[in-house]
């Protein structure tokens, strides 16, 4: 098993119970998540030693976040304390025709986005791990966040560690004209990366690559090999998600490696909590890739991990490797007793 650090902000998720709106309810359940947290947690359950590289305020909220990270089995040696705030988002679960609603507090003022760390920190982290995971959401924050992200990626690369980058482009964070603003930062990360999560949209819109493909699959087959070649990326993976009318989603995952695409059989499943399931797919791919598993197994395993993540409350995948392996063979669950 490997040792992996995930770099990213810890977000406090505050959600109304059931399907109540904030105006109806008077209580909230809270937990702590974020792409880095999700990936580190999932990989920890797959047997890896994981760390989060992040910054939390030195108050009760930071203490609570740290406690949950430990509970998830994530190493906290590289979480620094300082600054004053933690990023938060409020989640109102939709039902049927009514969409879920996310309302953010000010992320840019969070400890993660405002407190500079010593350059030595990045070296120490890079020393301790075989691979590090980064996410495009951090690129959308501010110069400090971007700069720290690149420092750590560079340090890892320099020491021979693997750099994993999930494009994860969020339009609302970049605003209008965001693709142009984002492009140079994305290119820098792609140059450093060994394993990348993206699909044809990232290539078309952020990297501005043209494609004559007739549909998204054709565009994917056209563009992903170009990206791999241009930036010297060892493996690229991603998914196409389709939201169906009957509370199910369909997920079709792929992995491109050594010039070949492998596709998972599209999987359709009931959805209990959608947030964070993309991170489960990524974690499945990372796990299989770090172990050198067969690429077809990798996409199937990652797809099952993603499907399971939709059945668990909270952003953070909780399935063990054994759980995922069992789910690979199952179509519906009864009772295990």
Q: Give least dist CB 27 to a second copy, A.
A: 5
Tokens encoding 20:
């109540």
Tokens encoding 56:
């939390």
The single residue among 1, 47, 106, 158 that binds a second copy, judged by CB under 8 A, is: 106
Q: Which stretch binds a second copy (CB under 8 A): 16-24, 136-144, 212-220, 256-264?
A: 16-24
Q: Give least dist CB 5 to a second copy, A.
A: 18
Residue among 103 and 226 whose Cβ is closer to a second copy: 103
If binding is defined by CB under 8 A, does position 67 make contact with a second copy? yes
Of residues 171-190, which lie at the interface with a second copy (CB under 8 A)?
A: 172
Of residues 24-53, which lie at the interface with a second copy (CB under 8 A)?
A: 24, 26-31
Of residues 153-172, which lie at the interface with a second copy (CB under 8 A)?
A: 170, 172
Residue among 205 and 312 whose Cβ is closer to a second copy: 312
- CA distances for 161 relative to 38, 123, 271, 298, angstroms: 21, 12, 36, 21
Nearest C-alpha neighbor of 191 from the set 244, 134, 148: 134
Residue among 214 and 329 whose Cβ is closer to a second copy: 329
Give buried/exposed letters for 258-295 (b at 16+ CB in 10 A, else e): eeebbbbeebebeeebbbbbbbbbbbbbbbbbbeeeeb
Distance, in Å, from the CA atom of 328 to the CA atom of 116, rounded to the nearest integer, reads 43
Distance, in Å, from the CA atom of 285 to the CA atom of 291, rounded to the nearest integer, reads 10
The single residue among 61, 190, 280, 302 that binds a second copy, judged by CB under 8 A, is: 61
Site string (289-308) toward a second copy, x via CB under 8 A: ------------------xx
Distance, in Å, from the CA atom of 331 to the CA atom of 281, rounded to the nearest integer, reads 18
Residue among 30 and 174 whose Cβ is closer to a second copy: 30
Q: Give least dist CB 149 to a second copy, A.
A: 21
Exposed (0-12), middle (13-18) or buried (19+): which is 229, by Cβ within 10 Å?
Answer: exposed
Three-point CA angle 295, 73, 309, nearest 5°: 50
In three-state secondary structure terms, 47 is coil
Residue among 209 and 318 whose Cβ is closer to a second copy: 318
Nearest C-alpha neighbor of 266 from the set 257, 254, 284: 254
Of residues 223-282, which lie at the interface with a second copy (CB under 8 A)?
A: 243-247, 269-272, 274-275
Of residues 77-96, which lie at the interface with a second copy (CB under 8 A)?
A: 84-85, 88-90, 92, 94-96
């Amino acid at each position: 098993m490997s040792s992996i650090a995930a770099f990213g902000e810890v977000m406090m998720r505050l959600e109304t119970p059931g399907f109540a709106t904030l105006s109806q309810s008077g209580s909230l359940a809270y937990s702590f998540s974020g792409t880095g947290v999700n990936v580190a947690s999932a990989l920890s359950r797959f047997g890896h030693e994981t760390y989060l590289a992040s910054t939390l305020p030195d108050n009760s909220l930071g203490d609570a976040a740290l406690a949950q990270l430990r509970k998830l089995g994530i190493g906290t040696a590289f979480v620094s304390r300082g600054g004053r705030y933690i990023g938060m988002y409020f989640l109102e679960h939709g039902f049927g025709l009514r969409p879920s609603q996310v309302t953010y507090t000010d992320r840019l003022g969070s400890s993660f986005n405002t407190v500079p760390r010593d350059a030595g920190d990045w070296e120490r982290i890079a020393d301790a791990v075989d691979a590090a995971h980064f996410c495009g959401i951090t690129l959308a924050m501010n110069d400090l966040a971007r700069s720290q992200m690149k420092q750590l990626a560079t340090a890892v690369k320099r020491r021979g560690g693997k750099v994993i980058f999930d494009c994860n482009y969020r339009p609302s964070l970049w605003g209008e004209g965001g693709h142009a603003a984002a492009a140079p930062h994305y290119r820098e990360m792609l140059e450093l990366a060994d394993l990348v999560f993206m699909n044809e949209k990232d290539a078309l819109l952020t990297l501005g690559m043209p494609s004559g493909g007739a549909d998204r699959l054709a565009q994917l087959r056209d563009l992903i090999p170009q990206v791999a070649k241009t930036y010297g990326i060892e493996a690229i993976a991603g998914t196409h998600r389709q939201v169906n009318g009957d509370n199910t989603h369909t997920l079709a995952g792929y992995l491109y490696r050594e010039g070949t695409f492998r596709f998972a059989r599209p999987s359709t499943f009931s959805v209990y909590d959608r947030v964070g399931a993309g991170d489960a797919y990524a974690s499945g791919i990372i796990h299989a890739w770090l172990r050198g598993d067969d690429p077809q197994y990798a996409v199937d395993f990652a797809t099952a991990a993603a499907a399971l993540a939709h059945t668990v409350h909270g952003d953070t995948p909780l399935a063990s490797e054994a759980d995922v392996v069992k789910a690979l063979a199952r179509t519906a669950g009864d009772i295990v007793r």
